[in-house]
């Protein structure tokens, strides 16, 4: 009888707290000149700068 090797488990990678693991965040669209810019109700997708789009929590 052959002994079975224990299977190795993948380590659980924590999700990024800012984007919640998606790698993208939403930003509010601003219009107007720099002095009088105002926010609109529109949103646009942006790359998460904390995890650089990977969705994994940064390791410090």
Q: What is the pTM of this model?
A: 0.55
Residue 60's pLDDT is what?
66
Confidence of residue 55 (pLDDT cuts 50, 70, 90): confident
pLDDT score of 5 more than 70: yes
DSSP string, the chain: -PPPPPPPPPPPPPBPTTTTTSSEEEEEEEES-SSS-EEEEEEEEEE-TTTTTS-BPPP-
pLDDT score of 17 more than 80: yes
DSSP state of 34: S
Q: Of 12 and 31, which is predicted with more confidence? A: 31
CA distance 60 to 53: 17
**How many Cβ atoms from other residues are within 10 Å of residue 48's Cβ?**
18
């Amino acid at each position: 009888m052959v002994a079975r090797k224990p299977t190795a488990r993948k380590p659980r990678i924590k999700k990024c707290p800012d984007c919640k693991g998606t790698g993208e965040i939403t930003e509010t669209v601003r219009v107007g000149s720099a002095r009088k810019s105002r926010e609109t109700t529109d949103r646009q997708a942006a790359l998460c700068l904390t995890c650089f789009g990977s969705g994994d929590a940064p390791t410090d």
